[in-house]
């Protein structure tokens, strides 16, 4: 079979949709220039009144030329946030990097909800930022196979001592392809993924107990629809985002995913990587989870307009208005400073209360099984098109330094945090302040660590808990413990494959399409729509990926 050029596939598949974004990316990202060292020095003759010979003055080395570096940053569309490319933190980083590294720093924002599509446009356009990132290893592997990533091995050896000492071999190993380092993964402090939340005040008004089983959960949604305890227009028992099946209904799908009876081979072969927490679409029981979502949709328990919510902020707006009874998102999302879902909800609906549910009992083994993240976080890499690879590595090494990393994560004492009796930073919830953080602990800027790292997990958890408002510290601990109860990583062995690099983006989009069609089908048509969709997914390249994974397993076990 003739091999297809991967970048051509990107351009053909997404350029029409993302032309505007591509143009914007190219216009906003200044072209990086190479770091040039002056090789010539000037010698000035000096004449002595007492001597007839001219003497050359001492040679002075010309200052190094200031280099340029452009770094990607997420735009999370926070209603109460600051411009992610121009705020207190970006100003501080620009100043420090200019002084310490002789680099002019520029940030290029990419919508969080469109990160993969936008990254493809940037990479295909030939002038991406000097540092970009993704949570999807197969996507980065596709870039690597087409020569799109810079080999960082030798440059990290020469200019990244802090990268090596801070991240360590276990994390850095996940950034290698064919034994060479092409990515600098972040260290993940908290491995919790998602939780399902519910309006406790709605339950109380209806005299319902907190759900303990899936049946209880379903019955609560029915009661929300029929009795509208919030007295709102367009009550929505459960809401979600159009492209987040494995996240915005993760607990539901995990409850039906029966991995306990699967062999390690089946987990690996069927776990085709598509994006974060979406490897289980072909696992036994997953279809029944989608069938449950289909039932919810047809009974109007699921947001009838979920397919129109282009980004998660659309769902958050509905939650903050008081229209939504239950939803699933990041394990701590309601209490995050920005956009401040819980606070905004309480401001709009006095007496509103949000609780974390732990009612999703797995149909296979009776556990509360759910997914957790692996030890590494986001993958940072440098495109081969970058003219400042060395500067990019120096910048990432700078981020790994204790003082830099700590300041970005906790900010100024007395402004962003105080210290408790144990010396644990207690974060202050800044609102409408230039020094507020758009993401928890500035994770979008402190790219090499996800969370507060105090070199002790107990202290880390205390610090994370205290990074929220004091009223939410206990709420956070319950949310974290719930998210980690019976949590597992579905596929421990992560191997990059040519097929997933080639087909990953199209398979990811096809998955959204297939699952949305299945959820919105009539109950009578569900099986036919779902099965046909899975076959389409396989025909799109999924079967090629499955075959390659199986061949790898058979040859190595």
Q: Profile the chain (557 residues) by mean pLDDT over runs of 10 residues.
A: 40 37 34 32 35 44 83 87 94 98 96 85 89 87 91 98 94 92 94 96 98 97 98 97 83 94 92 66 95 98 94 93 97 90 97 98 94 89 96 98 94 93 88 87 92 88 87 95 93 79 86 94 98 97 95 92
Structure tokens at 116: 């993969």
Rounded CA separation 110/72 (Å)? 7
Indicate if 379 and 355 belong to the same structural domain.
no
Whether residues 208 and 143 share a domain: the answer is: no
CATH number of the domain encompassing residue 119: 3.40.190.10
Helix axes 473-484, 457-465, angle to 10 degrees: 130
402-410 helix and 389-400 helix, angle to the nearest 10 degrees: 70
* C-alpha span between 207 and 201 (Å, rounded): 10
Is 54 within the bounds of a domain? no
Alpha-carbon distance of 89 to 231, in angstroms, equals: 42
- Note the pLDDT of residue 440: 82
Structure confidence at residue 273 (pLDDT): 67
| φ, ψ at 487 (rounded to 5°) | -80, 145
Domain's final residue, options 411, 435, 469: 469
How many domains, in total, are found in the chain? 2
The verdict on residue 57 lying in a domain is no
Q: Is residue 29 part of a domain?
A: no
Residue 255 vs residues 75, 201, 340, 525, 550: alpha-carbon distances, Å: 32, 25, 29, 23, 26
Inter-residue contact 73 to 109 (CB < 8 Å): yes
Q: Quick check: 245 and 512 in contact, CB under 8 A?
A: yes
Rounded to the nearest angstrom, the gap between the alpha carbon of residue 10 and the centroid of all alpha carbons in its chain is 21
Q: Cβ–Cβ contacts within 10 Å for residue 489, how many?
A: 14
Q: How far is CA 149 from CA 175, 324, 350, 353, in A?
A: 12, 43, 51, 47
Question: 501 and 352 in one domain?
Answer: yes
CA neighbours within 13 Å on the CB side: how many for 284?
12
What's the pLDDT score for residue 274? 54
| Planar angle of CA 225, 227, 233, nearest 5 degrees | 70
Residues 256 and 357 in one domain: yes
Q: Can you name the residues that pair with 379 across neighbouring β-strands? A: 134, 185
Q: Please indicate, yes or no, whether residues 220 and 318 belong to a single structural domain of this protein.
A: yes
Owner of token pair 């207690």:
426
pLDDT for position 324: 98
Cα–Cα distance, 308 to 62 (Å, whole number)? 58
Burial of 431 per CB tally in 10 Å (0-12, 13-18, 19+): exposed
Looking at the domain assignment, is residue 115 inside a domain? yes
In a domain, 508, yes or no: yes
Residues 241 and 221 in one domain: yes
Coil, strand or helix: which one is 317? Answer: helix
Looking at the structure, do residues 242 and 154 belong to the same domain, yes or no? no
H helices of 420-524, in order, are 457-465, 473-484, 498-520
Q: Give the SS3 label for residue 448.
A: coil
Asked if residue 170 is part of any domain, the answer here is yes
State whether 211 and 287 are in the same domain: yes
Query: Do residues 413 and 357 both lie within one domain?
Result: no
Q: What letter does residue 540 receive in the DSSP assignment?
A: I
Cα distance between residue 526 and residue 188, in whole Å: 39
Q: Is the peptide bond before 31 cis (omega within 30 degrees of 0)?
A: no
> Last residue of some domain: 435, 469, 503?
469
Does 53 reside within a domain?
A: no
Burial code (b: 16+ CB inside 10 Å, e: under 16) for 35-64 equals beeeeeeeeeeeeeeeeeeeeeeeeeeeee
The structure tokens listed for 358 are 């732990």
Q: Is residue 14 part of a domain?
A: no
User: Residue 246: what pLDDT?
Assistant: 73
Q: 353 with 450, same domain?
A: no
Residue 286's φ and ψ, nearest 5 degrees, are -60, -40
- The tokens describing 355, both together, are 């609780």
> Looking at the structure, do residues 232 and 328 belong to the same domain, yes or no?
yes
Residue 353: domain span: 194-371+490-556
The residue out of 469, 498, 523 marking a domain boundary is 469
531 in the same domain as 497? yes
Say how far apart CA 467 and CA 226 lie, in whole Å. Answer: 38
For 95, 142, 490, the CA distances from 145, given in Å and listed in that order, are: 36, 5, 26
> Tell me, what's the pLDDT at 375?
82
Please name the residue that has the structure tokens 């759900």. Answer: 211
């Amino acid at each position: 079979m003739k091999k297809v050029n991967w970048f051509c596939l990107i351009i053909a598949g997404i350029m029409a949709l993302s032309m505007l974004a591509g143009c914007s990316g190219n216009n906003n990202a200044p072209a990086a220039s190479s770091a040039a060292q002056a090789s010539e020095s000037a010698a000035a003759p000096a004449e002595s009144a007492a001597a007839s010979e001219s003497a050359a003055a001492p040679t002075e080395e010309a200052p190094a030329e200031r280099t340029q570096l452009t770094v990607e940053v997420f735009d999370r569309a926070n209603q109460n946030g600051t411009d992610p490319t121009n705020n207190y933190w970006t100003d501080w980083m620009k100043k420090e990097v200019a002084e310490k590294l002789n680099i002019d720093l520029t940030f290029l924002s990419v919508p969080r909800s469109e990160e993969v599509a936008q990254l493809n446009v940037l990479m295909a356009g030939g002038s991406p930022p000097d540092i970009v990132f993704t949570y999807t290893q197969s996507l980065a592997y596709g870039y690597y196979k087409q020569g799109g990533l810079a080999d960082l091995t030798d440059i990290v050896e020469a200019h990244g001592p802090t990268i090596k000492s801070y991240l360590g071999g276990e994390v850095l190993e996940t950034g290698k392809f064919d034994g060479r380092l092409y990515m600098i993964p972040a260290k993940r402090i908290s491995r919790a993924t998602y939780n399902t939340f519910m309006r406790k005040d709605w339950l109380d008004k209806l005299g319902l107990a907190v759900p303990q089983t899936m049946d209880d959960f379903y019955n609560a949604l029915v009661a929300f629809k029929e009795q509208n305890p919030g007295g709102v227009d367009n009550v929505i028992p459960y809401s979600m985002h159009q492209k987040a099946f494995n996240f915005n209904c993760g607990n539901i799908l995990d409850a039906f995913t029966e991995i306990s009876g699967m062999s390690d081979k089946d987990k690996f072969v069927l776990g085709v990587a598509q994006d974060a927490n979406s490897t289980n679409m072909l696992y036994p029981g997953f279809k029944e989870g989608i069938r449950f979502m289909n039932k919810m949709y047809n009974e109007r328990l699921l947001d009838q307009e979920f397919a129109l919510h282009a980004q998660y902020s659309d769902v958050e707006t509905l939650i903050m208005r008081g229209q939504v009874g239950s939803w699933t998102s990041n394990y701590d999302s309601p209490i995050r400073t920005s956009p401040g879902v819980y606070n905004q909800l309480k401001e709009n609906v006095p007496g509103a209360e949000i609780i974390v549910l732990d009612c999703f009992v797995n149909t296979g083994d009776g556990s509360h099984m759910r997914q957790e993240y692996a030890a590494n976080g986001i993958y940072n890499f440098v495109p081969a098109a970058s003219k400042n690879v060395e500067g990019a590595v120096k910048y990432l090494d700078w981020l790994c330094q204790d003082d830099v990393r700590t300041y970005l994560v906790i900010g100024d004492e007395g402004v962003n945090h105080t210290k408790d009796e144990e010396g644990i930073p207690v974060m202050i919830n800044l609102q409408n302040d230039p020094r507020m953080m758009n993401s928890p602990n500035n994770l979008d800027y402190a790219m090499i660590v996800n969370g507060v790292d105090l070199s002790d997990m107990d202290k880390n958890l205390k610090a994370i808990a205290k990074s929220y408002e004091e009223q939410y510290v206990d709420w956070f601990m319950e949310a974290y413990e719930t998210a980690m109860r019976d949590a597992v990583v579905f596929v421990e062995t992560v191997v990059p494959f040519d097929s997933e690099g080639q087909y990953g983006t199209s398979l990811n989009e096809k998955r959204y399409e297939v699952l949305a069609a299945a959820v919105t089908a009539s109950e009578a048509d569900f099986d036919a729509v779902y099965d046909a969709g899975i076959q389409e997914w396989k025909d799109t390249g999924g079967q090629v990926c499955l075959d390659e994974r199986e061949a790898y397993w058979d040859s190595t076990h």
